[in-house]
């Protein structure tokens, strides 16, 4: 019995003089791995138009049925995306989401991306439903906010070549 107590005291004293491995969480954020699947984000093109064309393939691919997409028609006086349609309503129920990444894989325009943000908190069930305004990334510096007014016939393809060549 005394030997076990001395063994425990020795272990305590041994680690007492080593630097701590604790990360001070709110001030210091731990880096995540490259393939980490965190909070969802809706992306935009460089000119400010939304990438989501309202095709609902992400909702069809979701095994947990956590995504709801409602599409509406684009007009030249009010253009949200380069395609014929855009997602007028885009919601993700984060209580249902299993962070599998199937929505990211199914999207033809790479509009929905699971980024590296792991700080997800909400106080009630209604706060767990992330709307389009919560998911969409800010307007790029060289772009303009949506909706935009464009010349008729400017966008004739759903997935245009809008990215800068790499």
Cα–Cα distance between 73 and 70 in angstroms, integer?
Answer: 10
In this structure, which CATH number among 3.90.10.10, 1.20.1250.20, 3.30.70.3270, 3.40.50.450 belongs to the domain 34-135? Answer: 3.30.70.3270
- Arithmetic mean of pLDDT over the chain: 87
Q: 159 or 133: whose pLDDT is higher?
A: 133
9 three-state secondary structure: helix
Q: Which of 57-61, 65-69, 148-152 has the lowest average pLDDT?
A: 148-152
Residue 59, preceding bond cis, omega within 30 degrees? no
* 41 touches 119 (CB < 8 A): no
Tens of pLDDT, residue by residue over 76-110, are 888 898 888 999 999 999 999 999 999 999 999 99
Cα–Cα distance between 134 and 14 in angstroms, integer?
Answer: 48
Tens of pLDDT, residue by residue over 4-32, are 999 999 999 988 888 888 888 889 988 89
Distances in Å between the Cα of 34 and the Cα atoms of 23, 67, 114, 115, 154 are 20, 24, 11, 10, 37
């Amino acid at each position: 019995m005394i030997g076990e107590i001395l063994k425990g005291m020795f272990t305590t004293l041994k680690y007492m003089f080593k630097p701590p491995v604790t990360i001070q969480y709110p001030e210091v954020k731990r880096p995540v791995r490259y393939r980490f699947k965190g909070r969802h984000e809706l992306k935009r093109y460089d000119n400010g138009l939304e990438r989501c064309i309202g095709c609902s393939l992400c909702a069809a691919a979701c095994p947990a049925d956590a995504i709801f997409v409602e599409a509406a028609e684009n007009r030249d006086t009010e253009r949200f995306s380069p395609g014929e349609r855009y997602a007028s309503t885009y919601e993700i129920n984060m209580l249902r989401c299993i962070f599998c990444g199937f929505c990211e894989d199914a999207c033809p325009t790479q509009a929905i991306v699971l980024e590296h943000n792991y700080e997800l908190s909400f106080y009630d069930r209604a706060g767990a439903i992330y709307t389009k305004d919560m998911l969409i990334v800010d307007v790029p510096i060289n772009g303009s906010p949506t909706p935009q007014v464009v010349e008729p016939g400017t966008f004739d393809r759903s997935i245009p070549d809008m990215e800068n060549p790499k």
